[in-house]
């Protein structure tokens, strides 16, 4: 790929926000330094036998000690913005609303924010990217206690708004609450690893806990967004949103109306589950109520009023891939969380949704990305920021540094997905920004360090960072697609 694409479609606004994204636990390390308390991932990654391929996040990319070097990388790549997350237990080690604030943690994030601004890069801060303080899980069950956890999250959000909001103007309350609920409390492959269907898990109830956790996340989000709107936005002048994840679904058999319904139902179980309450201050989607009944906790009038106060400025979209949905003729199992559909990578005549990537679940489908943007914008009417988008190249987990940096596959992925954004803008969608996942190869949660999503090669032995070609070309890819 050349650094300039004169034939690239035009349509990105000149003020289009773009940059790279990371999450605290995936890159920071320094887990026992600077007054940080343990989070649920610290405990989960040290379980015996290992549930995380024998690795942990104690060092990760050592961003805690390599902060200036990583900020220089962002500047070298020309980023306008950087999406990061704050580790709750680095700010309030025990997590609770009556627990002490850790000034060393505040100082670390002040250095990060000030370093970004000094380089002309705008910080975009995610308050929660999966790392609940372990003390709150031990104290009252964490996300399983709807009333307690939202009060503690509200206090944590207040501390962040008070201490960082004078310089940080863009806030994301939660990252991917669907993953937190399903991976953590239904199938048990993420912290805290609760499941009644996963034989490795000692505790959990997959029929009920995910729905309780989701309500706790929704109401915690509402507390933080309402607080920001009432007490901080008038003086700080920032914006607040949420980042929701999920695939776009096509009908497995385009001629079967039941598969069309299945595709829509699958997306309602993924996006509508959170977006209906968060974006519209409404109950969960009707297909969820029909299937799950009273296992879905109801919203009270007081809670709906709080959700209305938690008006959001944007929809953060984490998008990677698409799938086909096929209806099932049998009744939904009690443990089902997909809307009683089969998820498939090929349709009824064997056509794949996209070519393979470097990880089994991701197949590029940029034309479906465009459809997804249109669908979400029509339903929720908020400006959309792509808060994550990226891929590992095929075979990249086995490549040398020299091979990995020549990441033509990733460059093509970025280019085609940026083309899809231009197409969606032509369709009338307001897409205002794009964050590539990720700034550097990092800890892919339970999968460990094998899969490389970064635009920077990380040598996990030496912790040396080496820019891949995509890191140096993303700026021109975006500028080539700007209208002016």
Query: Which residues pair with residue 187 across a beta bridge?
Result: none
**What are the tokens at 84?**
């990061």
Tell me what percent of the chain is helix, strand and coil, each rounded to the nearest 5.
40, 15, 45
Q: Report residue 124: phi and psi, to 5°.
A: -120, 115
Question: Residue 110 and residue 163: Cα distance in Å, rounded?
Answer: 8
Residues noted as catalytic:
176, 388
Find, among 54, 63, 53, the residue nearest to 23 by Cα: 63
Query: Which residues pair with residue 242 across a beta bridge?
Result: 315
Question: Residue 462 and residue 454: Cα distance in Å, rounded?
Answer: 17
Q: Report the 10 Å Cβ neighbour count for 335.
A: 14
Question: Residue 41 and residue 32: Cα distance in Å, rounded?
Answer: 13
Q: Report residue 146: phi and psi, to 5°.
A: -60, -45
Question: Residue 307 and residue 317: Cα distance in Å, rounded?
Answer: 20
Strands 341-344, 239-245: pairing is unpaired
Q: Cα–Cα distances in Å, from 16 out to 11, 137, 188, 210? A: 10, 39, 38, 36
184 membership: H or E segment, kind and range: helix 177-185
**Among positive and negative, which fits the CA dihedral 277, 280, 281, 287?**
negative
CA 246 to chain CA mean position, Å? 9
Entry field: residues in the chain: 484
Preceding peptide of 438 cis, ω within 30°: yes
Strand, helix or coil for residue 249 = strand
Q: What distance separates the 2 farthest-apart alpha carbons in the chain?
A: 60
Q: What DSSP character marks residue 178?
A: H
Q: Which residues contact 150 (CB under 8 A, 6 or more apart)?
A: 216, 219, 220, 222, 223
Contact (Cβ atoms closer than 8 angstroms) between residue 240 and residue 173 = yes
Query: Which residues pair with residue 214 across a beta bridge?
Result: none
SS3 sequence of 277-322: HHHHCCCCCHHHHHHHHHHCCCCCHHHHHHHHHCCCCEEEEECCCE
Contact (Cβ atoms closer than 8 angstroms) between residue 354 and residue 364 = yes
Question: Residue 428 and residue 430: Cα distance in Å, rounded?
Answer: 7
């Amino acid at each position: 790929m050349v650094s300039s694409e004169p034939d690239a479609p035009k349509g990105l606004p000149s003020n289009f926000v773009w940059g790279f994204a990371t999450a605290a636990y995936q890159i920071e390390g320094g887990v026992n330094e600077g007054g940080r308390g343990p989070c649920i991932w610290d405990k989960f990654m040290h379980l015996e036998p290992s549930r995380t391929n024998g690795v942990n996040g104690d060092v990760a990319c050592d961003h805690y000690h390599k902060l200036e070097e990583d900020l220089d990388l962002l500047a070298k790549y020309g980023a306008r913005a950087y999406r990061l997350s704050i580790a709750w237990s680095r700010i309030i080690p025990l997590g609770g609303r009556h627990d002490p604030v850790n000034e060393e943690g505040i100082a670390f994030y002040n250095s990060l924010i000030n370093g970004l601004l000094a380089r002309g890069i705008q910080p975009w801060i995610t308050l929660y990217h999966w790392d609940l303080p372990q003390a709150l899980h031990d104290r009252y069950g964490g996300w399983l206690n709807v009333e307690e956890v939202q009060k503690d999250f509200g206090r944590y959000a207040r501390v962040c708004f008070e201490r960082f909001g004078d310089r940080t103007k863009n806030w994301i309350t939660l990252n991917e609450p669907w993953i937190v609920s399903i991976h953590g409390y239904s199938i048990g492959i993420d912290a805290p690893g609760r499941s009644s269907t996963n034989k490795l898990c000692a505790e959990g109830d997959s029929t009920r806990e995910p729905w309780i956790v989701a309500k706790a996340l929704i109401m915690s989000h509402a507390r933080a967004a309402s607080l920001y709107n009432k007490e901080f936005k008038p003086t700080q002048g920032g914006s607040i949103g949420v980042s929701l994840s999920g695939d776009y679904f096509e009908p497995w058999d385009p001629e079967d109306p039941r598969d069309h319904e299945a595709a829509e139902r699958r997306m309602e179980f993924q996006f509508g589950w959170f977006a209906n309450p968060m974006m519209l201050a409404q109950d969960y989607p009707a297909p969820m109520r029909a299937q799950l009944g009273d296992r879905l906790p109801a919203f009270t009038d007081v809670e709906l009023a709080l959700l209305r106060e938690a008006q959001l400025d944007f929809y953060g979209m984490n998008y990677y891939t698409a799938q086909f949905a096929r209806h099932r003729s049998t009744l939904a199992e009690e443990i089902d969380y997909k809307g009683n559909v089969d998820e498939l990578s090929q349709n009824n005549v064997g056509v794949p949704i996209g070519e393979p990537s470097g990880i089994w679940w991701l197949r590029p489908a940029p034309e479906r990305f465009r459809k997804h943007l249109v669908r979400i914008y029509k339903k929720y009417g908020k400006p959309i920021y792509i808060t994550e988008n990226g891929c590992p190249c095929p075979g990249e987990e086995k490549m040398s540094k020299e091979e990995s940096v020549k990441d033509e596959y990733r460059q093509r992925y970025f280019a085609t997905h940026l083309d899809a954004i231009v197409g969606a803008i032509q369709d009338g969608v307001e897409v205002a920004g794009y964050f590539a996942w990720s700034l550097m190869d990092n800890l892919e949660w339970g999968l460990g360090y094998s899969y490389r999503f970064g635009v920077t090669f990380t040598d996990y032995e030496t912790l040396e960072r080496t820019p891949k070609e995509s890191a140096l070309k993303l700026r021109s890819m975006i500028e080539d697609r700007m209208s002016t």
